[in-house]
Amino acid sequence: MPSVLFVCTGNLHRSPIAEAIFRKMIIDKGLSDTWLVSSAGTWAENGLPPTVEVTLVLGELGIRLENHQSRRITREIFDKNDLILVMSKNHKEALSAEFPEGAGKVFLLSEMVGKHVDIEDPIGGTLDDFRKTVVEIKDYLSNGFDAILQRATM
């Protein structure tokens, strides 16, 4: 079963947003029984719920983020995923340093559309900042959907 892991810093904003949106995309394509989609953080505190802002902006898209609890990436989580999509270059560097043998499966989410840009963390921002982050992530996932499927099944 192909698997994709989305990673940000605290696993409270960007990576849960990407996880929820990608999961909905997989469901909409009828692939939900054949894919494992999850998220984690490089510096996450385990067990925290998503923030109110994330819940609200995803709710505006009709997406519910149920049962999400933040978790820090571990060797076990890293190893069991085929593709790891990170939100910024520092996440890619951190994972490549911690798990050098698996560096080839770690990519910026933006790389799925041929870019090399960070997705800024909306932490401390307004609800509109969170909406902009959702739009950015959704665009990368939509435009990079085929590339994500291909990379995760290599």
In whole angstroms, give the CA distance from residue 139 to residue 128: 16
The residue count of the chain comes to 154
For residue 100, give Cα distances in angstroms to 51, 93, 135: 32, 10, 32
Residue 154 has pLDDT above 90, yes or no: no
- Which of 85, 147, 83, 89 shows the shortest CA–CA distance to 118? 89
CATH topology of domain 3-152: Rossmann fold (3.40.50)
Q: In Å, what is the CA distance from 109 to each residue of 41, 83, 115, 142?
A: 14, 10, 9, 11
Name the band, by pLDDT with cuts 50, 70 and 90, for residue 28: very high
> Can you give the pLDDT at residue 37?
95
Give me the amino acid identity at 3.
S
pLDDT digit string, tens, across residues 45-69: 999 998 999 999 999 999 988 789 9
pLDDT digits (tens, 9 = 90+) for 68-118: 999 999 999 999 999 999 999 999 999 999 999 999 999 999 999 999 999
- Active site positions, annotated: 8, 14, 121
Helix (H) or strand (E) holding 91: helix 89-98
Average pLDDT, the chain: 95
What pLDDT was estimated at residue 67? 87
